Amino acid sequence: MSNPILEVHHLTKAYGRKVAVDDVSFSVAAGEIFGILGPNGSGKSTAVECVAGLRRADGGEIRLLGIDPQAQPELIREHVGVQFQEAGLHDKITVREALTLFASFYEAPADVEDLLSVLDLRDKRDARYKSLSGGQKQRLSIALALVGNPQIAILDELSTGLDPQARRTTWDVVRREREAGATVLLVTHFMEEAERLCDRVIIIDHGRIIAEGSPQDLIDSVDDARSLEDVFVALTPRPGTASTTKKGARR
pLDDT block averages, 10 residues each, the chain of length 251: 88 96 97 94 93 95 96 93 79 95 93 94 95 92 94 91 88 93 93 95 96 96 93 81 49 39
Sheet holding 183-188, edge to edge: 80-83, 152-156, 183-188, 33-37, 200-205, 208-213
Question: Residue 61 carries which DSSP code?
Answer: E
Q: Is the CB of residue 220 less than 8 Å from the CB of residue 214?
A: no
Q: Is the CB of residue 97 less than 8 Å from the CB of residue 81?
A: no
Question: Residue 55 carries which DSSP code?
Answer: S
Q: What pLDDT is stored for residue 64 in this prediction? A: 97
The length of the chain in residues reads 251
Return d(Cα 9, Cα 194) in angstroms, integer: 23
Sheet holding 6-15, edge to edge: 18-28, 6-15, 59-64
Which residues 6+ apart lie within 8 Å of 227 measured at CB? 191, 192, 195, 219
Return d(Cα 243, Cα 234) in angstroms, integer: 5
